[in-house]
Amino acid sequence: MPLPAKRHPPVPYERHVFVCVSGRTCPGRNGDEIGGRLRQMAKEAGITRRIRVNKSGCLNQCAHGPIIVIYPEAVWYAGVTLEDVHEIFAKTILRGEVIPRLVHTPTEKPDTNE
């Protein structure tokens, strides 16, 4: 299964995915299930040593949730649905292809945590 070449400086994972599961909106819009499905797909593909899917706290873009961030592309996806999960896994996580319709365009200033 093709994945990006090793990075320099080295990092522990070839792709690192953060799925917001905490905050005003993402938990109520399937954030947990989206992350769970991505983790399951990575497990079934046998690539959990190369791909890491982590739960994230609120990313302060709540109006656009669920939010997912994927590195090394540093792409932010917004309004992700359960129907988008397979495409995200197949295109972005496995091949590094960005899905333009999901790319987040910030329209709100982040909330302050102060």
Site residues, ligand FES (CB under 6 A):
20, 23-26, 58-62, 65, 67
Element (H or E) spanning 36, and its range? Answer: helix 31-44
Beta-bridge mates of residue 103:
77
**How near is the Cβ of 106 to ligand FES at its closest, in Å?**
11
CB atoms within 10 A of CB 41: 19
Rounded distance between C-alpha atoms, residue 25 and residue 21, angstroms? 9
**How near is the Cβ of 20 to ligand FES at its closest, in Å?**
3
Element (H or E) spanning 69, and its range? Answer: strand 68-71
User: Judged by CB, which is closer to ligand FES: 51, or 62?
Assistant: 62
Specify whether the CB–CB gap between 91 and 55 falls below 8 A. Answer: no
User: Judged by CB, which is closer to ligand FES: 47, or 64?
Assistant: 64
**How near is the Cβ of 87 to ligand FES at its closest, in Å?**
20
Rounded distance between C-alpha atoms, residue 24 and residue 114, angstroms? 16
User: Judged by CB, which is closer to ligand FES: 67, or 93?
Assistant: 67
**How near is the Cβ of 105 to ligand FES at its closest, in Å?**
14
User: Judged by CB, which is closer to ligand FES: 27, or 96?
Assistant: 27
